[in-house]
Amino acid sequence: MELMGTNLVSFDSIFDRPYTFLDKLLSMKHILITGASSGIGAALALEYAQEGHRLSLSGRNRERLNTIAHLCENKGAHVHTALIDVCDRAAMTDWLLKTDTVHKIDLIIANAGISNGSGNADNWEESTRDIFAVNLAGTLNTILPLLPTMVARGTGQIAVMSSLAGFRGLASSPAYSASKVCVKAYGEALRLRYGKDGLKVNVICPGFVESGITRQNTFKMPLLMSGDKAARLIRHGLDKNKAIITFPWPMALATRLFASLPLWLVEGLSTFMPKKE
């Protein structure tokens, strides 16, 4: 783990402008986002970047992460970044606990994810394990360290990134869809278990969104959405505390119908689906 640029308010500035500082402090929100150096994660960071908000962003690409951090700072946010792999359980735990100790985290968005290569016979096993490691274990590494703390506080919000592909296992993307099925089910279960304790848990299930993941696809992607629009829809859903945030709605409806079909019919339809991985 490597921590990078921290933007903090000095005590001098507090006493120079006490009313302004207090006003900002009361409205300040601390959002932590993993996978923030590109795709939906970067778009979410920019969506939440505003005066009075504190952002803790992680990613694996230093240059891209620094670029996003600077853009967020230009919009008035206080930004703290960490060059860290979500698969590194010890480093994630250390970062999360220290970050929350400095400034209480209000919202965790476990966004980091991958999808590539598990359909390739040359590296099928390795890439399949990588997908599960990042999408599932990486999500657990992001939310478990602070889950007891948030439950004890009786406040806070956790959002996990699933997918419309997470409504059932897909022959076109076995590892990706299965990992997202797990994330979706776990997020739903956490919401049911801890909602009464004041913890908000939300599952995000996007369709095709412009990102590094979708750029690898060689097939036509219906209703492909920009990252900016996706981020706005996600933020709106989180503000409303929606249990499952799905979009775009025509594809979400089709996905729900497909998930309800009997397996024998799905087997027939799957022969027409392009391979994603």
Kindly list the catalytic residues: 176
DSSP 3-state of 37: coil
In whole angstroms, what is the distance from residue 179 CA to residue 186 CA? 11
In whole angstroms, what is the distance from residue 237 CA to residue 258 CA? 23
Given a contact cutoff of 8 angstroms between Cβ atoms, the answer to whether 243 and 202 are in contact is: yes
Question: Phi/psi of residue 229, each to 5°?
Answer: -65, -40
Q: How many other CB atoms are there within 10 angstroms of residue 100's CB atom?
A: 19
Cα dist from 76 to 25, 66, 79, 85, 113, whole Å:
14, 15, 9, 27, 28
Amino acid at 11: F
Given a contact cutoff of 8 angstroms between Cβ atoms, the answer to whether 244 and 205 are in contact is: yes
DSSP 3-state of 234: helix
